[in-house]
Structure 1
Amino acid sequence: MGTYDERPWLPLYADGQPHDIEPEFTDALAMFRAAVGRNPDGDIIRYFDGRITLRELDELSDAFAVGLLDSGFSAGDRVALYLQNVPQFVIAMVGTWKAGGIAVSVNPMNRARELDLLLRDSGSKVLVCLEGLYRDVAAAVVDRTEVATVITTSELEYQARDDSRILGGIERIELPGTVDMAGLIDRFRGQRPPSVSFSPDDTAFLTYTSGTTGPPKGAMNTHGNVVFNSQAYRQWCGLGQDDVVLGVAPLFHITGLIAHVTLSLLLGAPLVLFCRFEPSMAIETIRDERPTFTVGSITVFIALMNAPNAERDALASLTKIWSGGAPIPPSTVTAFSAAFGQYIHNIYGLTETTSPSHGVPEGVEAPVDKASGALSVGVPIYNTVVRIVGDDGEDLPPGEIGEIVTTGPQVVAGYWNKPDETASAIPKGALHTGDVGYMDDRGWFYIVDRKKDQINAGGYKVWPREVEDVLYEHEAVREAAVVGVPDEYRGETVKAFVSLRPGRSVTAEELIAFAKERMAAYKYPRQVEFLDEIPKTVTGKLLRRELRTREQA
């Protein structure tokens, strides 16, 4: 591994000029068409034992687009994708673009209230849905929305392996009033929709914020956003057509959409999917398919380390690993490297930055801040300007903590039908992230925490991340989440929720003493509660709000 100073091509801003890249395409559909033209018979999706080539994906998405148009779909209409990591997600996404539409990604863990909110907010005319999710959730919702057509499909399509750890118990379901996706494609296969193109400012996706601090909002990720950050991943991570992408992030999430789907479409490289993440099966898949690159939350890599078949050579092919979406304790990076010999590069971005705005470059190890113990999230990627600002909106010097404000070609135009929220969060194209951090004197950035998660303990500011990172250093701790809870004397005090590694034990008193030895007196947790699992979003972000709500109940 090199160091930052050894890589002079990095965007250091020392001369005021970031390292730029130029977009190669105006829209994501043109990007896909170019890949088809280069290597039509190359695999683009591998799903258990199934294979789909670029030529086949082109034909399948053509048929899907023709089917949409036949149902009355118009340019600019929205198609909601309520799916797991299955090939149909990619087919429907590309097909939606070919019909001139906008894809709306929906978390398959959403229940009726959440699905209703997203369908109403997006005004989706079509819902593409797994059969089980329609039966259990969507059937009770769609009649209250603008959805005119429901297209259903199954996890059992496009493969024959039927791995019981993921697909056990799933059966095909007869669903009157819905359109079977396989039947729709068979009906129109061989037909091509009218040619369509987009400008860089046209919306490609609506991706909904995770809602960790409030109701989800639909970020309008444009074709220009998508093309730019797909290229940024390719060049930042040193990727090419010979790479194989492992799809561990949920495809509905911005990481999965860009770092898995559209990156694969740009490269023309295979995307390995297995419906849902299961650690032991994921390790077997890595052995079989030999993927070279992935991006996932740190909880994915923690799970791989704790899998029963986690042998040292299991991840030998996976030489290009990045992690984003949730904070990374430095101790976890060290433990993973010791277990598998692979370094986890940090990467940072938001739904509103269409995945990355910062990253640790390939072959470089991120520094750890000596004072806070925080692992750097990297440096700004191409064409991106990042400022640290104080409460007065003025820029802060290196080392000072403030809000991260990002400007660049990956920043979304705004939130769907929410002009006030757009004006507040993205004034003049500058995204006020709500994340608090600082930049060191070499240009490395560090995330301290979310502004709303700060704990005020007797007038002292405590950032949960710092406490969590210390707790992760204890050999028994698998996951940790820290929140402020009411305290009669201090106003707020620090409480840690902890899950333990299999076969390990520790008492609350021992953990409190462990942290007390390593932190200022006002920071260490006064309370520890053990949970089997820490509540998280499907992308691995800690749901501190849910933990605080538990304490107030």
Structure 2
Amino acid sequence: MTQTNKLWLRHYPPQVPATLTYPDVPITQFLIDAANDYPNREALVFLGKSMTYRQLMNDVYRFARALRRLGVGQGERVGIMLPNSPQAVIANFASLFVGAIVVQINPLYMRKELLHQLRDSGAETIVCLDQVWPRVQEVKPETDLKRIIVTRLSDYLLFPKNWLYSFKTRFEGQHASIRYDSQTYSFLSLIRNAPSDPMEPTCQSTEDVALLQYTGGTTGLAKGAMLTHRNLVANCCQAEAWLYKTRRDQHYSFVGALPFFHVYGLTAVMNLAMRMAARIILVPKFDLDLVLRLIAKYKPSFFPGAPTMYVGLINHPKISRYDLSSIEACLSGSAPLPLEVQEQFEKISGGVLVEGYGMTETSPVTHSNLLWDRKKSGTIGIPWPDTDARIVDMNTGEILPPGKQGELQVKGPQVMKGYWRRPQETEKVLKDGWLSTGDIARMDEDGYFYIMDRKKDVIIAGGFNIYPREVEDILYEHEAVQEAAVIGIKDDYRGETVKAYVVLKKGKYVTAGELDRFCRGRLAKYKVPRVYEFCNELPKSSVGKVLRRVLSEEEKKKQLPSDYKQDA
């Protein structure tokens, strides 16, 4: 097989071209076009307050001019440490307008993570929430930070919600008394004191880096993937082509529950909504009750999410009271989507839920199942337009035929420029435009791709390769299991053995022995978990991806495991 044998193209609907024409513009142009074409459309809804595209554009211009007055210019890095909110959208696009490189930072990061990201990026400016300001202030002397811009969630709430929010944070001891000085500024004051006159975005080339998106750091310190304006524009246009039934003259709504500080939420919600002149229903923190109320009230069409979000919704005790019928399409990413979850969510909502695949390094999406045509459950679908994919032998690099397992490599206009200030790391994964993903996969005769697991997560027990996802999928089939995660633990005889962490559905009960018998009827003996641990929740990333590495680290700390063990 060669890279030109794109078996998947025969499954493309007539409306989806294999190759697209990408506008040679910075990502900011999507917002400009939406504001020019639909100035009175709602762009954002935030806890009851709405904002039109004209209002959003004006605030972006104001904040961009404020940044320029402060000395922020071409190529400088601006950290954005905010939850989903109008300020997060404004800060992102305003930073890009002045030619800066955005560095998205998780607001939950503590000292070590925050310090690494600020130092590595060399950010001189950061926009943060008042609640995290003390953390930023603490690490500031050890970084290049010159400007701290602080905002409160209440800054964009209507009365009396803004007053009630401020009172609540004070009462709960979360309110920070900000000390404004020559290096600490109020976001709201900067907005109010700057003109809203239009300005041209400062972008020398669409090959300029727009975003430094840090990886999860699962194999060491997090690395900054350099995503260019062209990368972000391309992935957005690919997503729009995949949603071929949509029309820009219609006003769609997106559930904005995926965090924008993660590239999945930034592309699949923020940037795509700007491209489609759609409305984003902002969710600052994923809360099941809040999300259900927002869906019932605003009737969104699209809900990009992570499997844990859908798991939570379908298991909500009051789900039958809410109308989810407005949802037309959902793309699930960041983690494997169990078939049972897909089927239950589609039954409840009446919409389509499909699994996709991507990486921080690919802006992020490369594959997904078709939304309104043929889809294969258990697969990540097929590559998007202009995206090539192949399976190679992990040792020799030889391109493998359909049906064979190996490492997935991808190539396309959404693939990153490289890792920030890490040429050697870049050379390891990026050669001749092909990105080595580190994921073990196979392609079938139809051109559909299956992710078996992360290369580093493979469990080798007695010489056999065991893929955690395969075991997890079986556990999800049990009626009592809500979530499951599988890792390898040390075993004196087999080298490694399988351990399963299980979260049960509310009101359900199952023993380790019952799960063992359930698995033995569906898996080869060597794949069956030998150890089970029941827990209330699993450690997850900001987008709901189960963190197996955290479970592995916790396991290593244990001296004597006290879990139930099955005999071999």
Structure-2-length-normalised TM-score? 0.91
Deviates more, 1:340-349 or 1:517-526: 340-349
Give SS of 1:348's match.
Answer: strand
Q: Is residue 230 of structure 1 aligned with residue 215 of structure 2?
A: no
Structure 2 unaligned segments of length 5 or more: list them: 1-7, 558-568
Matches within 5 A, 1:319-468: 319-364=328-373, 366-368=375-377, 375-391=378-394, 392-468=396-472
CA contact (8 A) 2:68 2:98 kept: yes
Any idea what the Cα deviations from partners look like across 1:91-141, whole Å, max 9, x if unmatched?
001110111111110111211110000001111111100000113x21211
How do 1:56-455 and structure 2 match up within 5 A?
Answer: 56-135=55-134, 137-160=135-158, 162=161, 169-171=168-170, 173-177=176-180, 178-193=184-199, 195-238=201-244, 239-241=246-248, 242-311=251-320, 314-364=323-373, 366-368=375-377, 375-391=378-394, 392-455=396-459
1:164, distance to aligned residue in structure 2 (A): 12
DSSP-derived class of the 1:65 partner: helix
Structure 1: runs of 5 or more not aligned: 12-17, 369-374
Counterpart Cα distance in 1 of 2:281 and 2:290: 13
**In 1, Cα distance between the equivalents of 2:504 and 2:424?**
43
User: What is the CA distance between 1:376 and its match in structure 2?
Assistant: 0.7
CA distance in 2, matches of 1:512, 1:254: 38
1:431-464 CA distance string (max 9 Å, x none): 1000110100001111000000000111111000
Matched-pair contact (CA < 8 Å) for 2:327–2:350 = no
Q: Distance in 2 between matches of 1:333 and 1:68?
A: 44
Q: Could you tell me how far 1:195 is from its partner in structure 2? A: 4.8
1:529 alignment partner, SS class:
strand
Query: Over residues 205-228 of structure 1, what are the superposed CA-to-partner deviations in whole Å (9 max), with x where a residue is unaligned?
Result: 111111233221101111001111
Q: How many residues align?
A: 538
- 1:59 deviation in Å? 1.1
**Residue identity in the other structure for 1:158:** Y
Q: Offset at 1:194?
A: 5.7
1:550 is aligned, of 551, 554, 559, to 554
SS at match of 1:23: coil
Deviation (angstroms), 1:319 = 1.0
**1:413 and 1:429 in contact (8 A); partners too:** no
Partner secondary structure for residue 544 of structure 2: coil
Change in Cα spacing, 1:325 to 1:139, as seen in structure 2 (3 Å) is: same
2-structure distance, mates of 1:518, 1:251? 39
Which deviates more, 202-211 or 182-191? 182-191
**How much has 1:181 moved relative to structure 2?**
0.3
Q: Using the alignment, how far apart are the partners of 2:128 and 2:87 within structure 1?
A: 10
Q: Which stretch shifts more, 429-438 or 30-39?
A: 30-39
What is the letter of the counterpart of residue 377 of structure 1?
Answer: I
Instruction: Quickly say closer, same or farther: Cα 1:168–1:243, change in 2 above 3 A.
Output: farther
Distance 1:341 1:419, change over 3 A: same
For 1:168 and 1:428, how far apart are their aligned partners in 2?
56
* SS in structure 1 of the partner of residue 304 of structure 2: strand
- Alpha carbons of structure 1 residues 220 and 100: separation in structure 2 relative to 1, 3 Å: same
Q: Secondary structure at the match of 1:219?
A: strand
Go from structure 1 to structure 2 and tell me whether the alpha carbon gap of 1:102 and 1:319 turns closer, same or farther (over 3 Å shift): same
Matching residue's letter, 2:362: T
Residues 512 and 390 (structure 1 numbering): CA distance in 2 closer, same or farther, change over 3 Å? same
Compared CA separation, residues 5 and 314, structure 1 to 2 (3 A): farther
Residues of 1 paired with 2:97 and 2:332: CA distance?
32
Distance 1:163 1:443, change over 3 A: farther
Cα distance change of structure 1 residues 470 and 10 upon mapping to structure 2, 3 Å threshold = farther
Q: 2:560 is matched with which residue?
A: none
* Pair 195,532 (structure 1): closer, same or farther in 2 beyond 3 Å: closer
Instruction: State, as a whole percentage, how many aligned pairs show the same letter.
Output: 37
Q: TM (normalized to structure 1)?
A: 0.93
* Distance of 2:117 and 2:491 partners within structure 1: 37
Preserved contact between residue 313 and residue 340 of structure 1 (Cα < 8 Å): no
Inter-CA distance 213–167: structure 2 relative to 1 (3 Å threshold): farther
| Cα drift, residue 335 of structure 1 | 2.2
Q: CA deviation at 1:168?
A: 8.8
CA separation of 1:479/1:127 partners in 2, compared to 1, >3 Å: closer, same or farther? same
- Report which stretch shifted further, 25-34 or 94-103: 25-34
Structure 2 equivalent of residue 39 of structure 1: 38
Q: Distance in 2 between matches of 1:523 and 1:222?
A: 42
**1:527: which partner in 2?**
531
1: distance between equivalents of 2:24 and 2:270?
Answer: 16
Q: Against the structure 1 CA distance between its residues 395 and 166, is the aligned structure 2 distance closer, same or farther, given a 3 Å change threshold?
A: farther
Are the structure 2 counterparts of residues 478 and 471 from structure 1 closer, same or farther at C-alpha, using a change threshold of 3 Å? Answer: same
Q: Which runs of 4+ in 1 moved over 4 A?
A: 3-8, 161-168, 191-195
Q: What is the rounded CA distance, in whole Å, between the counterparts of 1:352 and 1:459 in structure 2?
A: 32
CA deviations over 1:295-339 (Å, ceiling 9, x no partner): 111000111112233127521111111100111111211222233
Q: Is the 8 A contact 1:312 1:339 kept in 2?
A: no
Separation in structure 1 between the aligned mates of residue 72 and residue 376 of structure 2, nearest angstrom: 51
Q: Take 2:341 and 2:161, find their aligned partners in 1: how far apart are those partners?
A: 33
